[in-house]
Amino acid sequence: MKNLIGLLVSLLLGVLIILTLASSPSFPEFGSVDINDRVAGEYLDNDNVEEVGSGNIVTAIVVGYRGFDTLGEVTVLFISALGIALIFSDKKQKRLDLKFKPNFMLKTGSRIVFGIILITSLYIIFHGHLTPGGGFPGGVMIASAILLLYLADDKFRSNIKGFKVLEGVAGSLFVIIGLLGLVIGTYFLENFIPVGSLGELLSAGIIPIIYMLIGLKVGSEISGIVDNFLTEGESA
Amino acid sequence: MIQYAAIILFVFGLYGLLTQRNIIKMIISLNIMEIGLFIFIISIGFVYDGVAPIISSVSETGLLFVDPLPQALVLTAIVIGVGTTALALAFAKSIHNKYQTFSLDEMEEQL
Amino acid sequence: MTLFDVITSVIGVLLLVLAFLAINSKSLIKSVLFLSSLSMLAVVSFVIMRAPDVAITEAVIGSGLVTALFVFTLLAAERRETK
């Protein structure tokens, strides 16, 4: 009986959404959109692109035009990592005993692969304003490299205090750079470093600096989450 | 066609969230809803014969670009979805510590 | 019907089939694996719709992080049940 009511409610919602969007004159057809009618016409304009200096327009929107939303997103990630650390807090912790030993190939292969993953993640973070990528996937790749170290060794525990200090410092530096923009220039997160020419590595003002800070912060947060999932307290 | 598939994926996720009685299946249905929503939002900004919004030199700005604004919004939303899923799984693990089961019916019997 | 329409229709049908299998399967680990492959199909559709930033982010997160967290939760629960 409950299954039938659930099925009817979700079918009703789906039919309502499809009928409303199909008959509305302001919802465009799939693929036939005029960019100059939308806000994106201003973002893709020739003069504005030269003024911001970043080749990747999505990076320019996420860190430049809408940088305050990125600050909110970093706050949400911080709150979720804080909640997980609060749930799994015990006095003395040891590594979770999962009853299978890591393979020999995993133990030796992970030493080479760890270096390759770390270099790739640093490349993606540094070139965030020239090629697709940026701070968020680069930070999660750093956490993936640490996850590989956890999987390859039974008794490994990383330096959690160092990660927490790094995360706090990176987050505070993000806010301090924004406040510097307020002090020197006119608004929060203003670009006060001279913008170079389009397409070089050292260009686009404060955008590479902020992406590097975001990458370090996201990487250390998710490493902390992985460590919390793989340990247990002494009393269990 | 892919817009219809994305909306039906959202409806599947909602049906799974309403009817399943296992906590892990509820978290999986939440993730399915999120994936359907991301595909729908990006399909709003698509332009036929457009290229990805990356400019390498100033002289080639006569091209037709895809709308970059929905992509920036979905980038934020993906990371927030990860935070939500991780916190929900931590709660599920802590519940299993106390009740030794993941199913809501068996938890109601123990109360 | 251009090639683009054919490919998007095939991907759409595969998305719906995988979602149905993920919700209605009996074992939990199979549902988690179906969710991971659903995420991979979403990455393919992001690349087709010319969004490389979103595709890289979803590929790293969907395959590396969310699947690993699900598997760690299920392994810890199974270990406690057989103790």
Burial letters B20-32, b for 16+ CB under 10 A, else e? bebbbbbbbbbbb
pLDDT-derived band at A236, boundaries 50, 70, 90: very low
Give contacts of C37 with chain B, Cβ < 8 Å. none
pLDDT exceeds cutoff 70 at C81: no
pLDDT exceeds cutoff 80 at B15: yes
Q: Mean per-residue pLDDT for A65-71?
A: 91
Higher pLDDT, residue A121 or A45: A121
Q: Mean per-residue pLDDT for C12-38?
A: 94
Q: Mean per-residue pLDDT for C13-30?
A: 94
Whether A88 sits inside 8 A of B76 (CB atoms) is no
Residue with tokens 């969230």: B17
Q: Mean per-residue pLDDT for A27-36?
A: 83
Whether B58 sits inside 8 A of A44 (CB atoms) is no
Residue in A91, B14, A144 with CA at minimum distance from that of residue C69: A144
DSSP state of A196: -
pLDDT-derived band at B60, boundaries 50, 70, 90: low
Q: Mean per-residue pLDDT for C33-48?
A: 95
Beta-carbon neighbour count of residue A235 at 10 Å? 7
Residue with tokens 């790749």: A141
Residue with tokens 């299978």: A100
**What is the ipTM metric for this complex?**
0.92
Q: For A175, phi and psi rounded to 5 degrees?
A: -70, -35
HSE at residue B103, side-chain half, CA atoms within 13 A, is 6
Using the Cβ of B50 and the Cβ atoms of chain C, whether some distance falls under 8 Å is answered with yes
Q: Residue A232: in which H helix or E strand, if any?
A: strand A231-233
Report DSSP letters for A20-64, one per residue: HHHT-TTS--TB---GGGSTHHHHT-HHHHHHH--SBHHHIIIII
- Mutation test of the interface with chain B: which of C54, C79, C82, choosing the one with the most B Cβ atoms within 10 A? C54
- How confident is the model at residue A202, as a pLDDT? 77
pTM: 0.92
Beta-carbon neighbour count of residue B2 at 10 Å? 22
Using the Cβ of B102 and the Cβ atoms of chain C, whether some distance falls under 8 Å is answered with yes
Q: Mean per-residue pLDDT for A67-85?
A: 93
Residue pair B47/A31 in contact by the 8 Å Cβ criterion: yes
Q: Mean per-residue pLDDT for B7-18?
A: 94
Q: For A189, phi and psi rounded to 5 degrees?
A: 60, 40
Q: Mean per-residue pLDDT for C58-65?
A: 93
Question: Which CATH architecture fits B2-50+61-110?
Answer: Orthogonal Bundle (1.10)
pLDDT digits (tens, 9 = 90+) for A128-169: 888 999 899 999 999 999 999 988 887 777 788 888 899 999
Strand partners, B47: A31
Give contacts of A58 with chain B, Cβ < 8 Å. 53, 68, 71-72, 75
Specify the 3-state DSSP secondary structure of A62.
helix
- Number of A/B CB contacts below 8 angstroms equals 136
- How confident is the model at residue B3, as a pLDDT? 92
- How confident is the model at residue C83, as a pLDDT? 57
Task: Show me where the domains of chain B are located.
Answer: 2-50+61-110
pLDDT exceeds cutoff 60 at A114: yes
